[in-house]
Structure 1
Amino acid sequence: MIILLGGILDKTGKTTLATNLAVIRASSRRDVLLIDTSTQGSTDSWTQIRGGKNINPRVSCIQKFGKGLLNEVKDLATRYQDIIIDAGGQDSIELRSALVVVEKVYIPIQPSQFDILTLSQMDELIESAKEFNPSLQAKIIINRASKIRSVHESEVAVAKKLLANFKNLELANVIIRDQIYYAKSAIEGLSVIELNPKEAQEIEELYQEVFFANNKISQNKEPYSWEQENVREDVTKVYNLRLSESYLLKLKYIAEHTPDSMQKFCINILEKEIDNKINELKK
């Protein structure tokens, strides 16, 4: 999946959300890449701190700027299972390019930043992007909301009222309240779930919404790609499997102590799990 944490406003918490989502995703043994499009390099700095401390799971990050971002992301999507783009807080070529290639964009806005002009500009950007990326989903997420329940309920009400005027924007189901642990964890190259799991409920809920909401295979009468007449069972395709060193050694050990080769063992497990997941998604 390719997602974007972006927007035209600065200091909204895009980097914080992007890095936290990346850690949770990588913890599920997904091959995740962060792309930092900001010259400030906050996301890249976070990954360098994390890498310098040898914190697992490892999270890869690169910086990309300019018009080439679109093609770069398309190429990188063939090598990574998930890409999370952190686009700087302005109407930039990087933001516009990312909107054309991502599946979902989450736009963090602090309650104090809600205004018609900001939402109008973002709605127009999404409208333009949908000409090339019609399935793009765009959601506003209230970030750093008040811890006081009555206050953040009021903030949600205001947001819903404003968003009713814009056809390309909707409100995320999750609200991220203001927590000091986000800042503390970032300084250490950590995510909040690693620093203080008790305070990670909201970011975990956001993770579920981002990566699992509306991801079921659509029900239609058209045959799926693997059911097309030109797809042959006797033709094999190459797919490079990236494993950590420890799991590669475990795999070698299995091959040395069982009749199965490394490849056969992986295929036997993968084919079964792929079919199980397809059946689950079809329900």
Structure 2
Amino acid sequence: MSIIVIGNTKGGVGKSTNTIQVAIGRAIQGKDVLLVNGDRQSSSSNAIGRRDLAGLTPSVTLVAYPDGEQLRTQVLRQVDKYDDIIIDVGGRDSSAFRHAMMIADVMIVPIAPGNFELDALEDELVPLIDEIQAVRADNPLPIYAFLNMAEPKQFSSDNLATRRSIENFSQFKLLDLNVTKRKSIATASALGLSVTEMKPRDPKAVREVDTLIKALFG
């Protein structure tokens, strides 16, 4: 069992999109998955609702706990019932984000290329990480970042510059993968689908999402 937080204090970086892809992808692999929406926005909740309405299987159990104390209490009560617990938080510093980081086994940070995203990383997320790690003390939270909504050309100047900047932060380890900004990924996630379930299938999107899931779970 693992508790994985997917979050960033910067909105619009695709965290809910990736949450849906990881959660449904793991369910397709036969895992019993709990998706926790800790964001006051309902993106991931709406997506799973559409999946349920369409009667698609495998299903993903969804709960919403925007309050931090409730999120922490309820997730810890259910920790032995699921193979994976995926928590969607962020877009801002919140009590849900903080409590999720305190109970997580791993945190994943999607980062979009661009100067504004990097500024927000340094101004908001890094100080939050330092604060939580100080509280966790001898039980530090492993934190990994990856380039999300990346430019289609893997070695574009924006992609490379962003990756170099991310590598300068000691607070997280940069994963050797990019998830490109693809319409197929955004559309599938909004519908509550894995990219593997989309028709027609986008092989590049499937490969990128599979690479992300493999990096997280081996």
Which string of whole-angstrom CA distances, capped at 9 and with x for unpartnered residues, describes residues 233-262 of structure 1?
A: xxxxxxxxxxxxxxxxxxxxxxxxxxxxxx
- Which one is further off, 114-123 or 200-209? 114-123
Secondary structure of the corresponding residue to residue 175 of structure 1: strand
Paired AA for residue 85 in structure 2: I
Contact 1:22 1:32 in 2 (8 A): yes
User: Which protein has the larger Cα radius of gyration, Structure 1 or Structure 2?
Assistant: 1
Equivalent residues in 2 for 1:201-240 (5 A)? 201-212=207-218
Contact 2:17 2:190 in 1 (8 A): no
Paired AA for residue 208 in structure 1: K
Which string of whole-angstrom CA distances, capped at 9 and with x for unpartnered residues, describes residues 43-91 of structure 1?
A: 1111111001110111111100222222222112121111000003001
Name the counterpart of 1:30: 31
CA shift, 1:148, in A, is 2.0
Name the counterpart of 2:128: 125
Count of aligned residue pairs for this structure pair? 210
Secondary structure of the corresponding residue to residue 111 of structure 1: coil
CA shift, 1:183, in A, is 2.2
In 1, distance between residues paired with 2:193 and 2:81? 25
In 2, distance between residues paired with 1:41 and 1:32? 18
In 2, distance between residues paired with 1:8 and 1:187? 21
CA shift, 1:24, in A, is 1.3
Paired AA for residue 188 in structure 1: L
Residue 155 to residue 139, structure 1, CA distance change in 2 (3 Å): farther
Residue 81 (structure 1) aligned with residue 83 (structure 2): yes
Which string of whole-angstrom CA distances, capped at 9 and with x for unpartnered residues, describes residues 156-212 of structure 1?
A: 432343234422122122110111101221343212121125131011000001112
TM-score w.r.t. the length of structure 1 is 0.69
Residue 20 (structure 1) aligned with residue 21 (structure 2): yes
| 1:140 counterpart (145, 157, 161) | 145
CA shift, 1:95, in A, is 0.6
- Which one is further off, 109-118 or 22-31? 109-118
Secondary structure of the corresponding residue to residue 150 of structure 1: coil
Q: Which has the higher contact order (CA 8 A, sep 6+)?
A: 2
Paired AA for residue 200 in structure 1: V
Identity fraction in percent: 25
Residue 205 to residue 68, structure 1, CA distance change in 2 (3 Å): same
Name the counterpart of 2:161: 158
Secondary structure of the corresponding residue to residue 30 of structure 2: coil
In 1, distance between residues paired with 2:108 and 2:178? 12
Paired AA for residue 3 in structure 1: I
Secondary structure of the corresponding residue to residue 61 of structure 1: strand
Contact 1:3 1:103 in 2 (8 A): yes
Which string of whole-angstrom CA distances, capped at 9 and with x for unpartnered residues, describes residues 84-106 of structure 1?
A: 00003001111111111111111
User: Any unmatched runs of 5+ in structure 1?
Assistant: 213-283
| 1:97 counterpart (96, 99, 120) | 99
TM-score w.r.t. the length of structure 2 is 0.89
In 2, distance between residues paired with 1:188 and 1:68? 28
User: Any unmatched runs of 5+ in structure 2?
Assistant: none
Contact 2:36 2:63 in 1 (8 A): yes
Secondary structure of the corresponding residue to residue 173 of structure 1: strand
CA shift, 1:17, in A, is 0.4
Secondary structure of the corresponding residue to residue 200 of structure 1: helix
Name the counterpart of 1:258: none
Contact 1:114 1:159 in 2 (8 A): no
Contact 1:20 1:203 in 2 (8 A): yes
Secondary structure of the corresponding residue to residue 39 of structure 2: coil
RMSD: 1.7
Q: Which structure is higher in strand share? A: 2
